[in-house]
Every structure is written in C-alpha cells, then in structure tokens.
Chain A
Amino acid sequence: AQKITQTQPGMFVQEKEAVTLDCTYDTSDPSYGLFWYKQPSSGEMIFLIYQGSYDQQNATEGRYSLNFQKARKSANLVISASQLGDSAMYFCAMFPNRDDKIIFGKGTRLHILP
C-alpha cells in the first residue's frame, strides 16, 4: 500500500539553525513524485519543493532542499538558516504516477524559537 510517514509531530528549533523534517514513503510504483507543503497558521497550503523519483540530483529551492534517499525511501526536507516565519505545519506528499491520487503525511508542526 502507498503510504507517507512523518514521525515528528512537533519540533522546536532555535532561529538561524538548520532544520531537518523527516519523511518516509512506501510505494511499489517505479515512477513517483514527492512534495513538501507548508501550512502557516493562516491555513493556506504553500508549495515548497518537488523531487521526481528519477531525478539524479536532490531538489533545492532557495533555503529549502530535499534530501532524497531512494533506497531508503526517504525524502527529508532541510531548511537552512531557519527564520521565525518558518513556524508552520509541514506536510510531505507523494504522487504515484500511475494514478491521480496524491497521498499526504500527517504533518510536522515546526516552531522556530527567537
């Protein structure tokens, strides 16, 4: 069965430190995509980063990078130099290419401390 697991329900990190949010996934599809979304307290879902299963390099978008380890089926989000505005809920999601369902993890609530 296809599944996304985020094992950290909550994290507290000091401002300016780097943060790693864990995500593991399970799929038998050879082709899939992995996403991270940010949900601030205002409620909207904000796309952060995407990694395709066949991408040779780890995805990066500004301060966000995705540590993709295909053999371990993990897709951890790394936020460098965290800021107070990074405090939010973060969701990992998977898009198996053979159907149109996108599966979300339960999320990690990140708190950045001043």
Chain B
Amino acid sequence: NAGVTQTPKFQVLKTGQSMTLQCAQDMNHNSMYWYRQDPGMGLRLIYYSASEGTTDKGEVPNGYNVSRLNKREFSLRLESAAPSQTSVYFCASTSPGLAGRNEQFFGPGTRLTVL
C-alpha cells in the first residue's frame, strides 16, 4: 500500500516547455486534488476531481489542465510553462465520509522550477 505517489520528484523546465505531473493512489479514494505551494502562500487548489470522469477548477487553474484517467490516476499538465509556475506541487486524495472523517492523504510533492 503505497498511498499517494507522484512523479517526478524534481523537474526543471524552460519557459514554453510542456510537461505532465503524474499522480496515483491505491486507497480506492473517490476524490483527488492538485495543489501548488508557494512560500508564504500555503496550499492553493489548482484542480480537483470528485470522482472518475469529473474535474473542477480550484482557486488557481489558469495555465493547467488535468485528466482523471481512472479512479487511481489524476494527472496535471502544463502546456506552456511559465516562471510563475515555479512551485511545489502536491497531489492528494480523500474519500469523504470514510470512518467519519475526511482526511486528505498527500503525495511527497514535485518541486518544479521554470527558467
């Protein structure tokens, strides 16, 4: 039981390049999330998926796209990376109502630098 896994752990991109951050969970959770964390800003929600086949925008969706490939996997794509997207990206999953509490399980994060 690996929990939430993310790849890659580190990435450096040049402005304008594209890439996809991968996330997978093996806990059979319905909901999955992508956050970015910038210094002094806490975690900000980019996109989330309440169930397989659905996605919704969060607080800061511009410049990103997501795909909920199946129940396990939720990917985040940067089509044309910008320096403002330099951040640490966290994927998380949760299954609301499980055991009466809605704990979010986080992946280890991806540190992305855009030059």
**Chain A residues engaging chain B, CB cutoff 8 angstroms:** 9, 33, 35, 37, 43-45, 47, 50, 52, 91, 93, 95, 97, 99-107
Residues on B with C-beta less than 8 A from A107 are: 42
Q: Would you call the interface of chain B mostly helix, strand, loop, or mixed?
A: strand
**Chain B residues engaging chain A, CB cutoff 8 angstroms:** 31, 33, 35, 40-45, 48, 50, 56, 58, 88, 90, 92, 94, 96, 100-106, 108-109
Complex Cα gap A10–B92 (Å): 26
User: Are A100 and B50 touching (Cβ within 8 A)?
Assistant: yes
Residues on A with C-beta less than 8 A from B58 are: 101
* Given contact pairs A45-B90, A104-B43, A35 touches B108 in the complex (Cβ within 8 A): no
Can you pick out 19 interface pairs between chain A and chain B where the beta carbons lie within 8 Å of each other? Answer: A35-B102, A35-B103, A43-B88, A43-B109, A45-B92, A45-B106, A50-B102, A50-B103, A52-B100, A52-B101, A97-B102, A99-B50, A100-B94, A100-B96, A101-B58, A103-B45, A104-B43, A105-B42, A106-B41
* Given contact pairs A43-B108, A52-B101, A91 touches B88 in the complex (Cβ within 8 A): no
* Chain A proximity of B41: nearest CB distance (Å): 6
